[in-house]
Amino acid sequence: MNRKELQEEIRGLLRENNAILLAHYYERDEVQEIADYRGDSLGLSIEAARTDAETIVFAGVHFMAESASIISPDKTVLLPRLDAGCPLADMVTAPQLAAARKKHPEAAVVTYINSTAVIKAHSDICCTSANALKVVQSLPGGGPILMIPDGNLARYVARQTGRTIIPWEGCCPVHDQLTAAVVRAVRRLHPDAAFAAHPECREEVLDLADFVGSTTGIIGYAGRAEVAKLIVGTERGVFHELQTRYPTKVFIPAAEDFLCPDMKRTTLEDVLASLTERRYVVKVPEEVRVPARRALDRMLELA
């Protein structure tokens, strides 16, 4: 089947199976095109929580499907590619977190949604890049906060809120590879362009940005009347949404290789096989799901 035929077949199967397709903004264009909902981690979490569909097909990475399973245990959550993981999520383990809690017993643990279900279960509250500032500001008192696993996001939040934050030394390998030198070189080529960066980028990169925000935040910033040309400091999959919403504007990647290999694993063929073969089911055990759900619910209450 060609691209259009595959897309039509998938849409038909979604209807027949009372299923929805959720796709992250970093997924392949052809997958985003037929999704019931496109979004960032926060938006996808909210959609997974409120859908009436019996089956959720998650075009994303493993921690996202886990989050859907945590929030909607009565639904079947399918991840089309079981090998679509997240290196950042793997940068903290339960024993490491337990050791950090012992070292900082007075610290609240704020865990980025880019983490495994087990880590969420050992956390006080979750956050996304879209609501990290709100989550941290919601915590009472002035005590320290252990923020895991993305150190760049933690340092950004510390600077913006003035809270005492102990950053975990993990990072998104894709966002962290962007350097200030690369950004300056692109800006020299496009001096009339604004620059928007994701908070998973290094501090040196964020210092050069006209806007810092989540993927959804960057999309919103791109829609401002004064932004006609934008250098985009996040994964290039977001260009599908940007160009769909703002066809008259110019978008330039901050780096040509700004691509997440895990987000790009899922193809239309994978989505079709997921529906026809009911693969791969992601189910979080109850002993992990219940405490992880508490951490996610605390976050969602702030959304």
DSSP 2-69: -HHHHHHHHHHHHHHTTEEEEEETTS-HHHHTT-SEEE-HHHHHHHHHH---SEEEEES-HHHHHHHH
Nearest partner of 232 among 258, 264, 202, judged by Cα: 258
Note the pTM of the prediction, 2 decimals: 0.94
The pLDDT of residue 1 is 84
Same topology between domain 3-84+263-284 and domain 89-171+292-300: yes
Mean pLDDT of successive 10-residue stretches along the chain, which has 303 residues? 96 97 97 96 83 95 94 94 97 97 97 97 95 95 95 98 96 97 98 98 98 96 98 97 98 95 98 97 97 94 80
Classify the phi-psi angles of 141: left when phi > 0, otherwise alpha if psi is within -120 to 50, otherwise beta. left
Compute φ and ψ for 266, nearest 5 degrees.
-75, 120
Give Cβ neighbours of residue 58 (< 8 Å, ≥ 6 apart): 22, 44, 48, 64, 65, 68, 77, 78, 79, 80, 282
Does residue 104 contact residue 113 with C-beta atoms inside 8 Å?
no
CATH number for the segment(s) 3-84+263-284: 3.40.50.10800
- Amino acid residing at 207: D
CA pair distance 33, 89, nearest whole angstrom: 27
What is the C-alpha to C-alpha distance for residues 172 and 152, in angstroms, rounded to an integer?
9
* Domain boundaries, given as residue ranges, for the chain: 3-84+263-284, 89-171+292-300, 178-253
Q: Is the dihedral of CA 24, 78, 44, 208 positive or negative?
A: negative
Q: What is the structure's pLDDT at 302? A: 85
d(CA 178, CA 87): 16
Q: End-to-end distance of the chain based on CA atoms, in angstroms?
A: 41
Q: Confirm if 197 and 211 have CB atoms less than 8 A apart.
A: yes
Q: Are strands 194-197 and 211-212 parallel, antiparallel or unpaired?
A: parallel
Q: What kind of architecture, by CATH, is found in domain 178-253?
A: 3-Layer(aba) Sandwich (3.40)
User: 89-171+292-300 has which CATH code?
Assistant: 3.40.50.10800
Residue with structure tokens 């077949």? 9
- Site of tokens 């401002």: 224
Contact, 117 vs 288, CB < 8 A?
A: yes
**In whole angstroms, how far apart are CA 14 and each of 58, 65, 78, 115, 196?**
12, 17, 12, 28, 35
